[in-house]
Structure 1
Amino acid sequence: MVTVLDTGGVVPSVSQRRWRARLSRGLILWIFGFYVLAPLYAGARFALQNDNGNFSFHSVAVIPAQAGFTDAFWYSTRLAVVTVIGVLLLVVPTIVYAHLRAPAVRPVLEVISLLPIVFPPIVLILGFMHTAPTWLLIWPYHLAVLYVVISLPFVYRSLDAGLLALDLGTLVEAGRSLGARITTIVWRVILPNLSSALVSSVALVVALVYSEYTMASFQVTPTLPVWIAQFSLSDGHITTAAAMLSLVGAWILLAVVLVADLGRLQWRQRRAQK
């Protein structure tokens, strides 16, 4: 016996449900797009508008000639290079060893990688300045030590996701069956398969170094964000243009990473089909 329940209403058709779903998705995308693009439009308009209200690229063209910009830019670039080298040397061997030899340690490493998010940057920089040895504090790139710490959550998760996507057991056994050492397997088999995760990690670290202000404001040598904040008292149009250019540069870097990753995947698919 089948009982039919009367809901007292009209059940919407499939087309109506699909129309409502598309409308809700479109509304959410419009709201999100306005929330993200409206401040960018306002910043770009302010940067490209002179005191008379006319649009001009003068603020962008004179950025390299401003006092202190070149030194701050190249110092941030060198700092980014040191940070990338340090965080990769720290995280890559650790996470590869954890996946291959000590899987039980992975939850502990995940918790440790989250600790930099728990503590505010001001706490980290003050603790570092009061406890670090003198030889480290006088090193021109001692800020890279802190950047390595605060970039751990992003780098660890990017590399962890890349390793989880690989069949490490099969790769290691295949390499050992061919007589390769574990170091050779890691260098010639595992790391090439982690190229997309490594490039993504590098892009995140570079974007962090070029945008972090709290820790850099305590240092003697100004980084690019500190220069932007200090020079804003002189000319807001130029500093806004510099901030917009740094943001566009980060977007271009991420776009290059995505295009390179897609190209690598397509190349592998074509090679597998042959």
Structure 2
Amino acid sequence: MFDFSTQRRGSAEGRTWDNWQLMISDEDLRSSILASLLLALFTVVLMVALLVPTMVWVRLRVPGARRLIEFLCLLPLTIPALVIVVGISNVYSWVTYLLGDSPLVLTFAYVVLVLPYSYRAIDSALSAIDVATLAEAARSLGAGWPTVILRIVMPNITGGILGAAFISVALVMGEYVFASLLHFDTLPVAMAALNKSDTPAAMAAALASMIFVVLLLMALTLLSRDRHKQGASS
């Protein structure tokens, strides 16, 4: 991919970075990259805000509902993305009417898309700690529920949250069906359109997206390892 995206066209020899510079110079491609990055950020934030308090509350208050929550979170995995898009298209016409036609409104749909994978990562992290004991100890010392979740539980499941965040970012950066059928310009949609007229430039954008996800994985892995070492030393 790198070789193809840096070759000069025609009979000219040597290498060129014009296809890579297009990601900065082309306004449409640049805006689609920014939209995908913001979508990834907002999806991660909303996913964590929804899943972590809900899963902690279910474990502490209504453990009998764990199977129901698991079923609801894993349900999007069994339904094709095309079917989900067709089902929510009418709803999204109202969403865009109320919130505007920015690609960022895809955040709500993408949270549903990443639920199965994020749930598994966070559930594994919660299963590795004694949530009930930690919560009872914190409550006995006068901590409120926001404090229990933010300062007691979440620092102990950082690895699971980081894993869920990485999976979410990877899925959002590569998701095409939702954005295309709902008519939003994200990076995958822009790359597919660019591929019809300028394949080397589309190849450069695809490779840059892959490199970004790999670097993010390495950064999250190092961060999780450092936090684990700090926790072990303390």
Provide the TM-score with structure 1 as the length reference: 0.77
Partners of 2:19 and 2:200 within 8 A in 1: yes
Aligned partner of 1:88 in structure 2 is 48
* Bigger proportion of residues as helix: 2
> Aligned-pair RMSD on alpha carbons?
1.9
Distance 1:60 1:133 in 2: 34
| Contact kept in structure 2, 1:129 and 1:137, CA below 8 Å | no
Structure 2: any 5+ residue segments left out of the alignment?
none
Unaligned runs of 5+ in 1: 1-42
Give the 5 Å matches for 1:32-181: 43-51=1-9, 52=11, 54-130=14-90, 132=91, 134-138=93-97, 139=99, 140=102, 141-181=104-144
What's the CA shift for 1:246?
Answer: 0.2
Q: Which residue of 217, 220, 227 maps to 1:254?
A: 217
| Aligned-partner Cα distance in 2 for 1:87–1:152 | 7
Q: Does 1:264 align with 2:227?
A: yes
Shift of 1:91: 1.2
> SS of the counterpart of 2:177?
coil
The letter of the residue matching 1:136 is V
SS of the counterpart of 2:197? coil
Asked if the contact 1:211/1:225 (under 8 Å) is kept, the reply is yes
Residues 60 and 242 of structure 1 are in contact (CA less than 8 Å); yes or no, is this contact kept in structure 2?
A: yes
Larger RCO, structures 1/2 (Cα 8 Å, 6+ apart): 2
- In 1: Cα distance, 2:111 partner to 2:201 partner: 30
Measure the CA separation in 1 of the matches of 2:232 and 2:191.
Answer: 45
Counterparts of 1:106 and 1:180, CA distance in 2: 25
Q: For residues 54 and 93 of structure 2, what CA distance do their matches in structure 1 show?
A: 28
Match of 2:159 among 165, 178, 196: 196
Q: Which of 236, 241, 247 is 2:199 aligned to?
A: 236
SS of aligned partner of 1:62: helix
Q: Are the equivalent residues in 1 in contact too, given 2:125–2:160 (CA < 8 A)? A: yes
155-164 or 200-209, which deviates more: 200-209
Q: In structure 2, how many angstroms separate the alpha carbons of the residues matched to 1:63 and 1:70?
A: 6
Q: Size of the alignment, in residue pairs?
A: 228
Distance 2:151 2:61 in 1: 18
TM-score between both structures, scaled by the size of structure 2? 0.89
1:222 and 2:188 equivalent? no
Offset, 1:86: 2.3
Preserved CA contact (<8 Å) 1:122 1:215: yes
Match of 1:23 in 2: none
Deviation string, structure 1 residues 249-274 (Cα, Å, up to 9, x no partner): 00111110000011111122222xxx
